[in-house]
Amino acid sequence: MKALLLEDKNMWREMKVSETEKPAPGSGEVLVKIKAAGLNPVDYKTATNGNPNWSYPHILGVDAAGVIEEIGEDVTGFQKGDRVFYHGNLTKKGGFAEFAVTTAHTVARIPDELSFEEAAALPCAGMTAYQALIRKMNLQSGETILIHGGAGGVGGFAIQLAKNIGAKVITTCSPENEEYVKELGADYVIFYKTEDVHARILEITKNTGVNAVLDTVSRDNATQSLQSIAFNGRIAFIAGNPDYSSVKPFSQALSFHEIALGAAHFSNNWEAQKDLATMNEELANLVVEGELSSMISEKVTLEEVPVALIKLSERHVKGKIVAVI
């Protein structure tokens, strides 16, 4: 089969499409003929340092959609020809290929109304936002949330989900992305490079602070955000935990939520792994119902993935890039 091969760690910019051995499903697994694969920052980030579980050449691509080609032993509920999509295990070979293997219980069905490309854009970024807002922080109608990086994949899905819930949405972005995030549903936009984010939060919330924060930026940014959270508020973070010591005990009564979506695969927690499929199904239904956009901004070929990943690494991408395979 053809696949985009990573020859060694930190060589993701030089990846080329080459022939490699077609995988076979083991017990509890399915072989998927890949039709589309979503691009995510985690792809180039993990490729930079590599993984001790990888053998080279490795295949990146954590998000994929396609058609089941073969069923492994002890798999029930699926058959050859089923349209599916999934968030894969980062320690295994991924979806930048004509075929890929994944665990059957983490696979979600693609609704008839949804394209392979739309499905492939959802898992990593969509489920991260979904898990943060709905599973962990239990965001409610009428609450106010600060979403950092609203023009990115996670931020963009989070804005849409928050608006669907009925929350007031504040987001940070660059001036050139202001109209884009407002189209997604942002009520207030803060230009983080030129404005004092905390001062603007206090202005918008009349000095009370926000009920929730989703930080997609860094440990330092998450720490800075703590001062902007109202009493009994909460923060979810995906790029490093905040410095908890910066909050005086018995002052804000905050709750902290680490989002580590892919860790479910090697957690030995079967229910957490199955929830990956459940969340994907719920996201897909929201797209079908017209309540969520897959935010596809660009479609590329398998050969064009390295250049697209470079654009992602330089933060020059709005929404989602999907490879059509």
- Predicted local confidence at residue 315, as pLDDT: 85
Query: 117: pLDDT confidence band, cut at 50, 70 and 90?
Result: very high
Secondary structure tally for the chain: helices H, strands E: 9, 15
Domain positions in the chain are 2-121+270-324, 125-259
Residues 6+ apart with CB under 8 A from 142: 166, 167, 168
The tens digit of pLDDT for each residue in 76-110 reads 999 999 999 999 999 999 999 999 999 999 999 99
Whether 125-259 and 2-121+270-324 are alike in CATH topology: the answer is no
The tens digit of pLDDT for each residue in 285-295 reads 999 999 999 99
The tens digit of pLDDT for each residue in 206-217 reads 999 999 999 999
Strands 144-147 and 210-215, by their bridges, are parallel
Least Cα distance to 146 among 99, 62, 208, 69 occurs for 208
Residues 6+ apart with CB under 8 A from 191: 172, 173, 174, 175, 178
Which CATH code fits 125-259?
Answer: 3.40.50.720
- Predicted local confidence at residue 316, as pLDDT: 78
Cβ–Cβ under 8 Å, residues 122 and 109: no
Residues 116 and 125: their CA atoms lie apart, in Å, by 16
- Predicted local confidence at residue 68, as pLDDT: 98
Residue listed under structure tokens 């980030």:
45
Select the CATH number that applies to the domain covering 2-121+270-324 from these four: 3.60.110.10, 3.90.180.10, 1.25.40.10, 1.10.3720.10: 3.90.180.10
